[in-house]
Structure 1
């Protein structure tokens, strides 16, 4: 095989690897049921009935969370699109706090909070 043929074959292989894979679906179906499967209901229950567990979960009480949310909400709020609803700021913040509190991976958090990593 001469140099030109080898170069052409190498370029063809590289081009094949870098081409994007066609997306088969926009989102996994269970992510669409975030309100049902997510952690928001758990947080409400903990905040209302078990404040110590709530503080253990997020490393802060509900008042601190609300105060922090007021400060960062304009910066983390996203707009809904025709494709999907945006993740609410309270969910984005609680996910970040849970990640900071535990250090577990986003892959693990996605199952608890129903948000794609």
Structure 2
């Protein structure tokens, strides 16, 4: 399943077809020009969503290895998303998702340290 942001204009069919081809090529399920690649279908479900349906059996009967397919497909989606947005918006969005590196000292996670006197107690 591939979705675009609902606040953005609806992507064209050509955009979704190109994206699904990039995903299938990256995962090795349907490389361009490979006659032994897995057959696939891309179905547009709504204005902002498609589903890619691919059986894992190639025409010659061998079974494709889906080991890293999810990670590769996600990487392609990130590349498509980054290329569709201006660089500044991508950097701002990435910075907004990043948690702070240091928790402020006044937070409940770090209560104030108990004060100890420098003199030794007997």
- TM-score normalised according to structure 2 size: 0.26
More strand by share: 2
Identify which of structures 1 and 2 has the higher relative contact order when contacts are C-alpha pairs closer than 8 Å and 6+ apart: 1
More helix by share: 1
- TM-score normalised according to structure 1 size: 0.26
